[in-house]
């Protein structure tokens, strides 16, 4: 796996699988999705995503509200 030097951490009520699908369909470089903390029910999950390419990070940030 390549050097994943670009990353973002965030809280969301959405499932990690929703983000995983988006990352698989939209990123050209290597990507790693990490579940840092989760709760059962309607609580916030804490996720982190690490990217090989900064352009993929920027695309993710731009699309985040629509994922």
Q: How many domains does the chain have?
A: 1
Is residue 16, in this structure, part of any structural domain at all?
A: yes
Range of the domain at 44: 6-66
Is residue 12, in this structure, part of any structural domain at all?
A: yes
C-alpha to C-alpha distances, 55 to 12, 35, 47, 48, 59, nearest whole angstrom: 22, 22, 19, 17, 6
Give the pLDDT score at 2: 76
Is residue 1, in this structure, part of any structural domain at all?
A: no
pLDDT tens digits, 12-41 = 999 999 999 999 999 999 999 999 998 777
Question: What is the pLDDT confidence band of residue 1, given thresholds at 50, 70 and 90?
Answer: low
Pairing of strands 6-12, 31-37: unpaired
- Span 48-53, mean pLDDT? 98
């Amino acid at each position: 796996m390549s050097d994943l030097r670009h990353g973002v951490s965030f809280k969301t009520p959405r499932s990690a699988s929703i983000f995983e699908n988006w990352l698989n369909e939209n990123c050209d470089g290597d990507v790693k999705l990490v579940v840092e903390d989760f709760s059962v029910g309607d609580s916030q999950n804490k996720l982190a995503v690490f990217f090989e390419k900064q352009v993929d990070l920027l695309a993710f940030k731009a699309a985040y509200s629509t994922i």
